[in-house]
A = this chain, B = another copy of it.
């Protein structure tokens, strides 16, 4: 059966997935991007950005498998862009990723404000869902045609799906970076802690990969 999965979701040592003050220049908030250094060092990420080289060990293996078997993605509005509130007239923002985003699937963006879908190069189409997380998930499963759906984040969106008991698997990446403040993944999630068990604990030289599955 198709699953809802979180992959490569990275946390600071103090538990944050992004720092404060997200902006066009700082998609992860001020100094927040440092938690992603592990990923940027991998061959998979470097290739994605048109660069040579990069590591080919444990971190790369996880980075490379992040979109394997994924037929659709779900993102929160803040992962799609830095702006808040209604979309502007003649809106030209099409995500952080340029003309060919790294999703290559339908992407369902949770928002309070309707907007027409945006087809991009490489198979990505952004759809904007205003009817909440369950409708977004239903549409994503339909679009995925039997493949899994990846929940990209941010933390606030993942928490909503966790509380609703809808997330089947999480792959988290623990780093040694301190962000001090920002968005916490595990906040008000006490009711869900018993629902998951650790199925893999795999440290690399720089971060620790933890995979959690929902208990049967």
CB within 8 Å of B: which residues of A? 13-15, 172, 174, 176-181, 184-186, 189-194, 196, 198, 201, 203-206, 208, 210, 212
Contacts and interface: CB of A to CB of B under 8 A. Distances in A.
Contacts of A179: 193
Contact of A178 (B193, B201, B204, B205): B193
A210 B180 contact: no
A39 B142 CA distance: 47
A181 B190 CA distance: 5
B15 A14 contact: yes
A34 to B, nearest CB: 11
A51 to B, nearest CB: 25
A89 to B, nearest CB: 37
Which 7 residue pairs are nearest across A and B when measured between Cβ atoms? A203-B203, A180-B193, A14-B186, A180-B190, A178-B193, A181-B190, A176-B198
Contacts of A186: 13-15, 178
B14 A210 contact: no
Contact of A13 (B172, B178, B191): B172
